Every structure is written in structure tokens, then in C-alpha cells.
A and B are shown apart, each in its own frame.
Chain A
Amino acid sequence: MHTEQAEALSRGPQEQYFAALAKGRFQIQRCAACERHQFFPRTLCVHCGATDLAWTDPAGTGTVYSFSIVRRKPEAGGDYNVALIDLDEGARMMSRVDGVPLERLRIGMPVKARVLLDAAQPLVVFQPVEAA
């Protein structure tokens, strides 16, 4: 058996997701039965319940569905944003938008994903499409 396949079979989807992310690869799941995408990764399709799911590389593009600026003292690192991003594939995820001043962040803003590997843990973040 191919090593990658064997590896995939011995781990649940959550561990598979984070293992791929650690290699800089952002993947989401697509259901073979209903053809819809989902995030976060699961052992079954949240839309139809089928269990035949495949990993797919999303386009990485999406829009800001909502966001909040969390207020934090400057000495603790200052204010930061938490955003909900709608991926073009139809799945939603929590993330943040980098590369834009907080006061220019807008709902509906087109954004593109990138994987940060130098954070405490591998992390998908987004930045405005213009700046991508």
C-alpha cells in the first residue's frame, strides 16, 4: 500500500488535517455522495451523513462573513481580529485577516488563504485579495 494511503487510514480526519497543514497544505473535505464541501473535517458528511469523503485543495479564496476586533492591552499584544470566512466552496471557518489595518476590515471583503508555519501551531489565515 502507498505510504500516504496507509498513513491516512491509521489516523482520523482531524489528525490528517493538521498533518497536512504542518506541511503547508490547507485542505477541506468534499462529499462524494452530495458533492458538497465541509469544514471542519469529520468522519461523515454534515450535509447528508454519507461517509465517503475526500480531501480537496480549496481555491483559498473567500469573503469575510463577519468579524470582531478583540480589544487587548498594548502590553499584552494589542487589538486583533477574529473573523468568519466563507470559502468559495461553500464552507465557513473561523480565522483572522492579516495585512489590513483593523479599521479597514469589512464584511464582504474578498480574502485569500495562506498557511502560517511560523506560528505556535500551523494556522490558516487570510489576507485581502488586493494585497495577496
Chain B
Amino acid sequence: MMTLESLRGRVAIAGVGHAGLGEAHGYTEMEVLAQAASRAVADAGLTMKDIDGLATCSSSATMWSMPVAEYLGLRPRYIEATMLGGSSFVSHLLPSVMALASGQCNAVLVCYGSTQKTATFGRKEGIKARTLLDPQPFEHPYSPLQPVTSYALAAARHMHQYGTTREQLAEVAVAARAWAALNPEAAMRDPLSIEDVLRSRPVSDPLTVRDCCLVSDGGGAYVMVRADRARQLRQPPVYVLGSATAVWNRQISSMEDLTVTAAAESGKRALAMAGLNVADVDVAELYDAFTINTLLFLEDLGFCKKGEGGAFVQGGGIAPGGRLPVNTNGGGLSCVHPGMYGIFLVIEAVRQLRAQAGERQVAGADIALVHGNGGTLSSQSTAILGGPSTR
């Protein structure tokens, strides 16, 4: 039997690209996806004709992989279209590693695009349509402002159970903004203080608008090939050392303990595959759809004990110069968040591990932990990526 451990480092990310970050006026989501895809393929030193594997999904089109193959002119031998919300493009890593390692295909393109901010059928319309296409008859009648109310319920419970404070939650947004200030591609780069976060418009208590991710357009893509080939290509290879996904529930009301996410499982499995532990991690990209996410994931992934996430981030703990560099591009809170953010976690980790992150570069970053979240704390997907020297 093939083991997960035997797949450690067998596959590498060879190219990354993005397009249409912020507002992509006049472009469709397929067009920003395709632009990002072309850039990722070129970054790898390949052409679209080399791509014979495809991983993608959309938050609206259920058959999305077919129009993507059609648009890009692909005839993929491997197709991965599992839709887990925002964690999808992290969760696509492991099945793609298997497809490449088995020889099912030779080059996988993982890609996403969204124009939720500028499209006529945008974010609001999508949420309305989803109540019909994906009904939640035991939550919807109470009018939770989804997804933010679900995360607010988790934040309130975390505060109650562990004494986590509003200021500690705000620290997450402040740290993200400090990283964004170092990233010319980030959308929000003005200084942000704890006071600013606390005084911003309340949305769903205890969360304010500055506890919530941006609403942006944007496309992102990355290309995966087997490690031996990656070493011959244009960019330094970034190895997939471990990857795992866990889903325990869909609805927040079905979550057993609002302070413990399935990241506790996905993180353990991904680290085990990589043969590493969190002390080995140089940089962490944790899906910060809301400030509470970062605290929950720091705890569940093992960077600190349960309940100590607030103390961990306090005093600039995850900001530039802090104890652990987290969300170094500015995250979903201050860089970009086009509906599903997972692919941008991978792109930023790759840039850090290639030492191409400019002013925000984490010195000597060899191991990155990438963690995607989807739905309402529903799906959790962790990946451990390693720089050129890790294999």
C-alpha cells in the first residue's frame, strides 16, 4: 500500500499567479481565473499545452470544472472539483499530489476566479440564491447574517469560555494590516489601531466590520508537477510535504464545541505526513475570514494551548517582528478576499518559501503552514509546504 508519508515532497508547486485583485471592472470571473492561470503557467516556465490536470471550483456554478477546461482549452486526465468553500484550493493539494505521483497526469493547474464585488450577480445575490440551492431550514428562519453571525457565535463563546477579549480579537486585524502595509498588492494599507477596530461599525456582536474580511474580486492559480521535474523548471520548487482535510459539520448549530474546529484534526494529519511539528513552522498562512478564525486555528493547529490564542497574538505576537509571522500578505482581512480565499494562502506561502516576498519577506522561511477554512467553520484543510532546501 502507498502511504501518505511516502508522498512527502514527491510533488512541488512550480508556478503561481493572480489577477484582478480588488476590483476587476469589466471582467468576468472566468476571465480573471484564466489570466491568473496563464500567469501561473508562465511563472512555472510551462505552457497551457503542458497542463493535463485541473483542480477548480466555484461558489455558484456547480459544474464549474467543465467550462474552465473548455475556456482554457484543456483536455485534463485528472479533474478535482471538490467544493469545500474557502478551503477548497488548499484541499485540492492532496488529491493532486496523488494524481501526479501515480502518473495519472503530469502537470496540475489549480485555479479560481471571482468577481463577487463588481458583478451584477455578486456576493449579495449569491447568498440569496444559496438559501434556495443549499437550504438550511433549521437556521435560516432566525435570520443569521451569514457567514458573519456564525463566526460571531464562535467568538462570543470563546470570549465566555476563555476570557478572550475584544482587544485580543482586534489584534488579529491590526497585525494583518501591519503586514499589508509591507505588501504593495494589498488592498488596505492605511494604519489601523485596536481602537479603530473596536470603534468600527458593529455587524454581528462581538464582531465589527474590521473583524471581517474584505469583499474583493480576484483570481489566483498555481501549478503542480512532480518534484524531479520542478527542479528543472524556472522557479525554485516549493514542496508539498503534508496535506490533510477534515469536515465535522456544515452548520454552526451542528458544531459540537464552538471553540474547537476540525483544524485540530487536519493539522495533526498534515504535520504527521510531513514528519514535522509546529515548532518547525517558520511562517503560517491561516484563513482569516474573521478575526476569531486566526485565534481558533493558532490553538487547534497547536501553536498554543486551547484558550490561549488571545494571549498569543497580544502585543504584536503575529505582526511583523512578532513571535510567529502570520498572514504575511495582509490576509483576507487587509489584502484580498474574493469569496473563497484559499488559493491566496498557497500563493503567499510559495512566495515566502521562494524568498520572493519583498519587504514582507520572512528571513530564512523554509517551512510554511497553510490553513484553509470553508463554510461557517465547516471545512478545514491544512498543508505543510517546504522551500527548495527541504527535500
Contact = CB atoms under 8 A, between A and B. Distances in A.
Whether chains A and B associate is yes
Q: B-side binding surface: helix, strand, loop or mixed?
A: mixed
Contacts of A65: 157, 258
Contacts, number: 74
A interface bracket (residues with beta carbon within 8 Å of B): 20 to 34
Contact of B153 (A66, A80, A93, A108): A66
A107 B157 contact: yes
A94 interface: yes
A85 to B, nearest CB: 9
A12 to B, nearest CB: 12
B212 to A, nearest CB: 12
A67 B206 CA distance: 9
Interface residues of B, number: 27
A107 B144 contact: no
Nearest to B208: A71
Contacts of B203: 70-71
A94 B139 contact: yes
**Looking at A39, A65, A94, which has the most chain B CB atoms within 10 Å of its CB?**
A94
Chain A interface main SS type? strand
B319 interface: no
A96 B139 CA distance: 10
B285 to A, nearest CB: 27
Interface in A67-86: 67-71, 80, 82, 84
Contacts of B142: 82, 94-96, 123
Interface in B127-180: 137-139, 141-145, 149, 152-154, 156-157, 160
B358 interface: no
A131 B207 CA distance: 29
Contacts of B157: 65-66, 107
Nearest to A94: B253
A10 interface: no
B143 A80 contact: yes
A71 B204 CA distance: 6
Interface centre among A66, A70, A119 (most CB of B within 10 A): A66
Interface string B358-389: 00000000000000000000000000000000
B144 A69 contact: no
Interface of B: 137-139, 141-145, 149, 152-154, 156-157, 160, 201-207, 251-254, 258
Interface of A: 14, 18, 39-40, 65-71, 80, 82, 84, 92-96, 107-108, 119-121, 123
